A and B are shown apart, each in its own frame.
Chain A
């Protein structure tokens, strides 16, 4: 991988859980957002540290919010565990209203005054949406390429950026541990 612009990565991620559970806690319908701001260097270099904000849908109850924290902060195992173990320097959680909508490969996410993202699949050869593989966070280990029209974040000084008009990655996901 190559170093990012200005040598730091600013990442905003959003998930809509269609169907899922953690132990006895049903997570279907819960929306989750994540902001990552990295130290200088390539994001996945072992020595690059990340500061993370987890944004949990305000409609989630306490059990659901705790489950989401356990999963995304790696305490539930799965792929987030080595990520937390290797990279995460600080982690914060905010409960916010999240609106997530998807129409085919058009995605739109709005998280109060924290985040606004609109992205659509980018069509490549054969009029098909391009893909990138292997990618860890999707079921097929493949993400679709897209482009954002809006991608702004505002959460404290460290998590404030506008990367509208850049590449975006879209896909169906499946997270599981063990």
Chain B
């Protein structure tokens, strides 16, 4: 009867990877929007002396343009987060969608929309942090006056977190979408929102230090964005992801301390 061969076919044959495809397309659009500078920033064109890719520039520009500036910055930050975080979250989105057999297409769309939407909102909300930090300590002037210390300090902070048990606790959930789903699964749209909040918390816990570093090197710096997106995707998906997280911690620690020492000497 060959159940060994037929089981996976029986389970998977009906399912086109729609969720994965849509997510990839959205992520691709987000990357295109960021790279192509489609996103409006207040005074972006007029302020020729400030490059958007410089450390602290987008944050300073946002803060100097009031609520509109803050709103536009958060939109930009949200699009960036979608570009960077969606690809590595697809395994969870896809697995979650498999749990939704037995509801209508509209019901599935509502639940997946609630799950992915909440996740996106959580990441968008984290954009408040660089704005708050920048309101207290302007990163542009700090980067101009103490660039070495700022960069070195950011690397040391990144190193400390990459090597901490908190990072690895969160990473474990991000690395095992089924493990997360098995232990946090809830039904309904409200359940989707709740699960997404819980996953978002682990996800932010996993990646915040990398994004803190990104803000320091320039939150609109596309090269760093791409590098960090690759790093966090590898951390979350490949078999040697945990070792990679530690290796980055060690590398950031050594580089950061060296920069700090060289700056002080």
Please classify the interface of chain B as helix (H, G, I), strand (E, B), loop, or mixed, using the class held by over half of its residues: helix
Stretch of B3-11, B35-43, B142-150 on the interface side: B3-11
Size of chain A's interface in residues, with CB distance under 8 A? 30
Stretch of A29-37, A80-88, A106-114 on the interface side: A80-88
Q: Which residues of A contact B3 (CB under 8 A)?
A: 90-92
Q: Which residues of A contact B177 (CB under 8 A)?
A: 82
Cβ-based interface call for A76 (8 A): yes
Question: Are A74's CB and B11's CB within 8 A?
Answer: yes
Q: How far is the CB of A44 from chain B (nearest CB, A)?
A: 5
Closest to B189 in A: A178
CA distance A135 to B12 in the complex (A): 26
Question: Are A88's CB and B11's CB within 8 A?
Answer: yes
Cβ-based interface call for A78 (8 A): yes
Cβ-based interface call for B100 (8 A): yes
Q: Which residues of B contact A130 (CB under 8 A)?
A: none
- Count of A-B contacts with CB under 8 A? 94
* A44 partner, pick from B103, B176, B184, beta carbons under 8 A: B176
Q: Which residues of A contact B10 (CB under 8 A)?
A: 73, 75
Cβ-based interface call for B181 (8 A): yes
Question: Are A177's CB and B100's CB within 8 A?
Answer: yes
Question: Are B103's CB and A86's CB within 8 A?
Answer: no
Question: Are B183's CB and A134's CB within 8 A?
Answer: yes
CA distance A177 to B187 in the complex (A): 6
Q: How far is the CB of A144 from chain B (nearest CB, A)?
A: 16
Q: Which residues of B contact A44 (CB under 8 A)?
A: 176, 178-179, 182
CA distance A52 to B148 in the complex (A): 58
A-B contact pairs, 28 of them (CB 8 A): A44-B176, A44-B178, A46-B176, A73-B7, A73-B11, A75-B101, A76-B101, A77-B100, A77-B101, A78-B101, A79-B99, A79-B185, A81-B98, A81-B99, A82-B96, A82-B177, A82-B181, A86-B178, A88-B7, A88-B11, A89-B4, A91-B7, A134-B183, A134-B184, A177-B187, A178-B101, A178-B107, A178-B111
